[in-house]
Amino acid sequence: MRLTAYTDYALRTLMYLAVRPERVATIAEIAATYAISEAHLTKIVHQLGLSGEIATTRGRGGGLRLGKPAETINLGALVRRTEPDMALVACFGDSAGCAIDGACVLSEALREALDAFLAVLDRYSLADLVAPRQRLAALLYLGPP
């Protein structure tokens, strides 16, 4: 299974903001740090703002910060919301036309694997991802708290 760039960037943006929650950041700053498109990140930030994970402030001195405590942002829920298609194989959505439908164990094994993948993510919050706060801050050039 491979997560989309959308989910990857959403996670990295939230991690960036969670490392220094007292700080306001800009889309340009986050995009430059991760070397990603500002236009693409703008769409992601907009959706994260609508869902409440990010709070945005316009104008001078404005920017982005976490919209809720990092402990309350669950990875499993975020991935489920940001991934458009969690079907690992075509028959997850529609088994019509499958030559082995009714006797296939593969689809059940893959469904179980996907459930296990999401169950692991459900055990983590954004706060868990930024536990090595000082090392992350240094790598993201955010400086000491």
Question: Residue 8 has what pLDDT?
Answer: 96
Q: How many CB atoms lie within 10 A of CB 35?
A: 6
Cα gap 85→99, rounded to integer Å = 23
More confident residue, 120 or 60: 120
The answer, yes or no, to whether residue 112 has pLDDT greater than 90, is yes
Question: Residue 103 has what pLDDT?
Answer: 79
Q: What is the mean pLDDT of residues 124-141?
A: 90
Q: What is the mean pLDDT of residues 65-78?
A: 97
At residue 14 the predicted structure's pLDDT band, cuts being 50, 70 and 90, is very high
* CATH level 3 topology of 5-85+125-139: Arc Repressor Mutant, subunit A (1.10.10)
The answer, yes or no, to whether residue 105 has pLDDT greater than 90, is no
Cβ neighbours for 138, distance < 8 A, ≥ 6 positions apart = none
The answer, yes or no, to whether residue 24 has pLDDT greater than 90, is yes
**CA-wise closest residue to 75 among 5, 2, 12, 139:** 12
Length of the chain: 145
More confident residue, 88 or 38: 38
